[in-house]
Amino acid sequence: MERKRIAIVGIGLIGGSLALQLNEKGLASKLTGVDSNRDHQKKALELGLVDEIMELDDAIESSEVIILAIPVDSMVKILPAILDKIDKQIVVDLGSTKEQLIAITKDHQKRGRLVATHPMWGTEYSGPQAAVHGAFENTAVIICNPNESDADALEWTKNMYKKIGMHLLEMDAVSHDLHAAYVSHISHITSFALANTVLEKEKEDEAIFELASAGFASTVRLAKSNPSMWVPIFMQNRENVLDVLNEHISQLRKFKSCLEKENYEYLQELIENANKIRRIIK
């Protein structure tokens, strides 16, 4: 696979982790970082995530591939302008929502140079210092509306993801956003809500720390996720997230009713039914 000059726009957790993989797999002849946060710029250089820092326009001009790893609200603002400025460059976005992004670029004359993707990986941490070696290995990446991308752009992007150890799924943007609401977005809302519940009921932070078990920590860890990333995701995927939330609230009401009515037989059934998730998650 030919090495390319690659620019990563947004060198936080996702962009920084991808930079590590691109370097380790020898996929980049030069790796340029673009970030509006000066602390991120400095840290990315210190950690060796990128070879240099550039302004966006300069990075577009000097690169063959532009990878966008920024919050989805910023993505929809700048992507059309990026497509305006490119020639033959490949543009790859890593956003967690896709329907709005696909819609705003649908009629752009350079739409074919865009490959819309969503690597299904992340942690609750943020910033270049959170970058993880081998982050994307043995995880899935969804490529949305692949038939709308040029063949060479799609081929390079698929090969890049295969090289860093990901397995590929293809999906239309509407289906992607629905499925993401179920497997990712609801998990974060639940974690945020649980954290707020505990913080409201337990005013002594030390007590939370002392009593928190591994189970609680793993359940609520997503509550540490960056709000500047997640609020735009919830905004863009509002309808799907509301549908999932309604179902989730319905399920919570069942558990509440069991306890109110002391219906422990039905409570047993609810938990046994939940155990069927073992078929999916080993």
Instruction: Name the phi and psi angles at 92, rounded to 5.
Output: -120, 125
Percent of the chain with pLDDT over 70: 96
Same domain, yes or no, for 181 and 220? yes
Same domain, yes or no, for 89 and 130? yes
Contact 22, 6 (CB under 8 A): yes
Q: What is the pLDDT of residues 42-76, one digit of tens each?
A: 999 999 999 999 999 999 999 999 999 999 999 99
Same domain, yes or no, for 247 and 113? no
Picking from 172, 201, 217, the residue at the C-terminal end of a domain is: 172
> Tokens 């690659």 appear where?
6
Same domain, yes or no, for 183 and 245? yes
DSSP annotation string for 29-48: EEEEEE-S-HHHHHHHHHTT
**CA-CA distance, 142 to 179, in Å (whole number)?**
11
Same domain, yes or no, for 196 and 258? yes
Beta-carbon-side half-sphere exposure of residue 221 (alpha carbons within 13 Å): 10
Same domain, yes or no, for 104 and 211? no
pLDDT at 173: 98
Same domain, yes or no, for 66 and 180? no
Can you state the angle between helices 264-274 and 238-260, rounded to 10 degrees? 140
Picking from 144, 172, 200, the residue at the C-terminal end of a domain is: 172
pLDDT in tens, the chain (282 residues): 889 999 999 999 999 999 999 999 999 999 999 999 999 999 999 999 999 999 999 999 999 999 999 999 999 999 999 999 999 999 999 999 999 999 999 999 999 999 999 999 999 999 999 999 999 999 999 999 999 999 999 999 999 999 999 999 999 999 999 999 999 999 999 999 999 988 887 766 666 667 777 778 888 899 999 999 999 999 999 999 999 999 999 999 999 999 999 999 999 999 999 999 998 887
Same domain, yes or no, for 136 and 236? no
> Tokens 């946060």 appear where?
37
Q: What is the pLDDT of residues 227-271, one digit of tens each?
A: 999 999 999 999 999 999 999 999 999 999 999 999 999 999 999
Question: How many separate domains does the chain show?
Answer: 2
In this structure, what CATH number is given to the domain that contains residue 104? 3.40.50.720
138: left (phi over 0), alpha (psi -120 to 50) or beta: left
The separation between CA 114 and the C-alpha centre of its own chain, rounded to angstroms, equals 18
**CA-CA distance, 230 to 240, in Å (whole number)?**
15
Contact 50, 30 (CB under 8 A): no
**CA-CA distance, 108 to 110, in Å (whole number)?**
5
Residues 6+ away with beta carbon under 8 Å from 145: 98, 102, 116, 172, 173
Same domain, yes or no, for 113 and 199? no
**CA-CA distance, 184 to 225, in Å (whole number)?**
12
Same domain, yes or no, for 168 and 263? no
Same domain, yes or no, for 141 and 190? no
In this structure, what CATH number is given to the domain that contains residue 196? 1.10.3660.10
Same domain, yes or no, for 48 and 14? yes
Picking from 111, 141, 172, the residue at the C-terminal end of a domain is: 172
Task: Name the strand (E) or helix (H) holding 162.
Answer: helix 151-163
Contact 67, 47 (CB under 8 A): no
Domain hosting residue 221, numbered range: 176-279
